[in-house]
Amino acid sequence: MRRTLGRSTAALVCVVLLAACGSDDTEEKAAGVCEAPSASEEAVFLREILQTEAFTTDQRKPKDELVRKLKRDLRSLPPDRDTFHHLACRFATASDTGYAGANFSYAWMPRTAPRKPLIGDDVAYDVNGVRVVAGATMAKLLVPCDMPGELVEQSQKADLYTDVYFHFVRSEPDRSQAGKDKRAALTYLVTRHITDALGCENRPLEQPPTVKPLPAPTP
């Protein structure tokens, strides 16, 4: 089954639910690799996933520092395991009735490293040729990033790795297929900010996300 979650769809949702889109100044001023202004696709998905009308954005590392550390890690890429995971973005909502959050971390995964199998009800996706896995409280994305300059050869040995953890207190995540579809699309959209910051010359996440679940592997 094919689901297209493009810019026009998110914009239409935001127009229909204008009151829910909000106009929080802090959110509008979010910058760098954690951009999620109120009318963006990222914000629409975050409100639906976190089950809230408003959320806070916390950029854990300045963009320049994150890019510098990811480039450093790529230079010393191990052959069989992912590099250190840098927590970059935290989106959260908190109230007297509970807490929900989404934490985005970035690393590199060597292409020679073994791939972990799906666990439980996790779903694998093809999103415009990019591999994404999403479950009730997690999402992972692997994407080629052709780095410019001195890192071009080293970048051919690894994929940029996005690791997302969704945390809920006194509330339950949406465990449906549609809920996982949204987490897959959100992961793609938020990762686009870091591929832009790194200067990936192949521009791997340029297109709006078309989310297509892959068949479950045969036991």
How confident is the model over 56-70, as pLDDT tens digits?
999 999 999 999 999
Question: How many domains, in total, are found in the chain?
Answer: 1
Tell me the average pLDDT of the chain: 86
pLDDT score of 218: 54
Residue 185, pLDDT above cutoff 80: yes
In a domain? residue 154: yes
Cα–Cα distance between 52 and 101 in angstroms, integer? Answer: 11
Assigned domain for 192 exists: yes
Residue 20 has a pLDDT of 33
Asked whether residue 218 is assigned to any structural domain, the reply reads no
Q: Is there a domain that residue 164 lies in?
A: yes
- CB count within 10 Å of CB 10 equals 20
Q: Which of 88, 45, 54, 48 lies closest to 211 in space, CA to CA?
A: 45
How far is 59 from 84, CA to CA, in rounded Å? 18
Domain membership of residue 116 (yes or no) is yes
Question: CB of 121 within 8 A of CB of 136?
Answer: yes
CB 164 within 8 A of CB 187: yes
Q: Using CB atoms within 10 Å of the CB of residue 149, give its burial: 0 to 12 exposed, 13 to 18 middle, 19+ buried.
A: exposed
Q: Are 32 and 61 in contact (CB under 8 A)?
A: no
- Are the CB atoms for 205 and 188 separated by under 8 Å? yes
Residue % of the chain over a pLDDT of 90: 75
Domain containing 26 equals 3-213
Task: Kindly list the distances between the CA atom of residue 39 and the CA atoms of 16, 47, 146, 174, in Å, as whole numbers in the listed order.
Answer: 11, 11, 30, 22
Q: Does the pLDDT value for residue 15 go beyond 50?
A: no
How far is 110 from 90, CA to CA, in rounded Å? Answer: 25
Q: Is the pLDDT of residue 52 over 80?
A: yes
* Confidence at residue 120, expressed as pLDDT on a 0 to 100 scale: 81
Domain-located, residue 131: yes
Determine, yes or no, domain membership for 219: no
Residue 89 domain flag: yes
With bands split at pLDDT 50, 70 and 90, how would you rate the model's confidence at 29?
very low
Listed range (14-28, 135-149, 202-216) with the worst mean pLDDT: 14-28
